[in-house]
Structure 1
Amino acid sequence: MATDADAGIEADALPVDLLLVALLGLWHLAAVQGYAGQSSMQAVLGLGAVLVAPGYALVSLLFPRRSSEAGLFEDREGRISPGERFVLSVGVSVCLVPLVGLGLVLLSFGATTSLFQLSIGVTTVLLAFVAAGRRLEVPPAERFSPLRWVINARSRASLRPSGGVRALHVLLVLGLLVSGTGIGYAAMSADRGEQFTEFALVSESDSGELVASEYPSQIPLGSSATVQVTIGNHEGRDLDYTVVVIAQRIENGTVLSTARLDRFSTRVTAGETIERPHEMTPSLVGENVRVSYLLYRGEAPVGANPRPENAYRRTHIWVNVTSG
């Protein structure tokens, strides 16, 4: 005949709380990828997936045993009360989530919202599975179980603040300060990760507008055509740029000949976008001559001829150059 104790041991065999945390992490992954439908509960689940689930999984990994009457800094052998477990879960989540974003920045993955949210879901699921494995290694009599805590009325008394709760608050404040520092550093690093230079060619349309089309397609040898070179500096600092213009005759993907047409330098301040007209005068006769504009930060390479492969940015147009 089964007893209440037998039922409690059977209930302890499955870490239901960690299973729910893992499911919440999986839901978070699905929501980030757009597979979870919109619902009134989605905001609540999202808050739980970010502010509770990651920290709860990590706290469960660190404290796999049930509650103890010992003080906060006394030897508990991996034991904390359910109340402290919940408070720590929120505090650890607040500290852990910014550190995930900081890790993405330091690993040069960037700090985009979708990747950040995806990483939180993956971290939650992994921590939940590892925590479940560690908890199952603990003897059933010592193992933390939310079901046992609900069933056993005496365990509910552990929700009362212990003598170490005040020290726990101090630890959480320190954790918030650390996480705030991590958020600031991640924000500044994310800005650095968005540095780039805009480089493009535009031409004047029949209506007088500058468009990235309607380029000159046929130029007699010795004649010129005008294009506008656009350089946008989003690097976060003032920079000197060098533009080298070359023409190449290409057949079946092979460069048969190359001619340097022009070279000029310009300085662009941070956040500025300039448009400079340039008269292009190809010196190679043939069909589908590729005229390339190569952009370099600073000076163009000295030891090697400027070519598309060693340019910082590049763009080109195709023209037919006739002999007469």
Structure 2
Amino acid sequence: MTGAIDRGQDGLLSRLAGSDASDLALVAGYVLLANLLLLALPPEAIAIRTLLGIPLVLFLPGYSLLAALFPRRGTAGAVDGIVSVSDADRSSLVWRQVRSVQSSRIDLPTRLALSFGLSLTLVPILVVAMSVVGIGTSLVSILTVLTLVSLGGVALGARRRRRVPASERFSPRLQGLVPWSPSGRFHAQTTVEVALNVGLVVAVLLATTALGLGLTVPNTDSRYTEVSLLTGNESAERLGDYPRNLTVGETSELVLAVKNHEQRTQNYSVVVQLQRVSTDGNTTDVHERQTVTRFGERVESGSEWRAPHEFTPQLAGEDLRLTYLVYRGEPPEGPTTDSAYRHLHVWTNVSERPRPAGASR
């Protein structure tokens, strides 16, 4: 009965651990899938793209290279199943441990920790090399280099593992993290060693999570909308040279430029008002306003929208304020500069239309 239970546990743990190259298959599959998603996702999907890219940059290049360099199991595997050793076998055990060190074996926790450190060392070197040879550091070029490095390490690691005897071959089992093997026997690990191994893995996971959150939380200081007012036609737009003196009913053409730096697609609405205002120190009061026009547009992240429009004043007076109120989404009822997300204005004088000669007063 006990033997049947042990075999059942062994089969379950073996299925959980997978084959000797299951970790390399997962690495290759993730690299290919992440490449497809990173190239297909829109630029404003920053959080998803960052989460997909963190393993590609901070873990997988180092893990793949270690798989190629160290195809054997860790030192714990060399003494798998040994709990106590007699004096007669002590010399044999010492020799096996020395041979394990000479074979350049690393256990699973060490392999995971070194993967992060090696990736952090390797990736900057690759980026510098790309710049030196003139490849550039675009998204496509960086993904290409990281993919070649990761898949190259996976291919070489799989080949080297096949040449190692099955009893010494590294496989992504649990022996490096817990004090039992898939066969149900205990490793010669103390409680302190197990605690240190588990603590190392937890520390690496916490550090990765903290880094991921730091990268995925957007910096609000870098998210903004740039608004400017241009004059001229679409082929010769320029800043300044705004119409300073107009007549009631006279039409002028202006161009509002809105550039989206919000790191996501944004719906903009614009309300243009001609305002009669008075100022008293830092206080500005609006006494009368004319809504000149309204328009809106959906603008992709990083794109600029230029909106040519006509301005025909109906108010007359000196130092009238032509104000542009820019909103994200729909504007409220009674739009003002206080409610606008962005606003700008220029000053103009509007005179009454001259009366025709002979017209009665």
TM-score tier by shorter-chain length is 0.3 to 0.5
State the TM-score, normalizing by the size of structure 2.
0.40
State the TM-score, normalizing by the size of structure 1.
0.44
Structure of larger gyration radius:
2
